[in-house]
Amino acid sequence: MSWTDERVELLKKMWGEGQSASQIAKELGGVTRNAVIGKVHRLGLSNRATTTTATPKAEAKAKPAQKAEAKPTPKPTPAPKPVESVEARPSNVTPLRRQIIPAGQPLPPQPSANEISPEALARVNEIEKKAKKLTLMELTEKTCKWPVGDPATDDFWFCGLPSQSGKPYCEAHVGVAFQPMNSRRDRRR
């Protein structure tokens, strides 16, 4: 589909009349709504002078003869609930505050949802003392592939202890890597 001068003129006319991109696409045929939106932006037509929906007051002024027609009255919307004051809040509940950090400034440390329990960390530390400290080339399907250290240094190694059946890690590292959903969810609270 190409944008011929006639199609562009029809697009401009319909856009100026306040028709939607979907309506214009349907009228033009062979073009999607997104293609119409893209062409509108490329032509610089994105700001419409008029809107497609009139306010109720404008409709009443524009059509005074139709006031006699019986229209169903809309149901009244319930009034918004009043916001509770700070004094009404229980003392043990602290309000959430969003800190605005200027651009270019480092973010403050956030509590991690992936923190390891002290018991699991102690068990992992004990296991890593017994680890075989394998390199990447020494790993097999039956060895624990838990990485230890910084890969950019010479002190980097993999656990290497026998892995659990169907898992990439040994028993201690499986306990850290694959945690039940409930315990992960509870830590976030």
Higher pLDDT, 147 or 84: 147
pLDDT at 147: 92
Structure tokens, 139: 């790993």
pLDDT tens, 148-169? 888 888 889 999 999 998 999 9
User: What SS3 state is found at 31?
Assistant: coil
Q: What is the mean pLDDT of residues 34-45?
A: 89
Count Cβ neighbours within 10 Å for each residue of 42-55 and write b for 16 or more, e otherwise.
eeeeeeeeeeeeee
Q: How far is CA 170 from CA 50, 58, 123, 132, 142, in A?
A: 67, 73, 12, 12, 9
pLDDT tens, 60-80? 555 555 555 556 666 666 666
pLDDT tens, 82-141? 555 555 555 666 666 666 777 777 766 655 555 667 777 788 888 888 888 899 999 999
pLDDT tier at 2, thresholds 50, 70, 90: confident
pLDDT at 143: 94
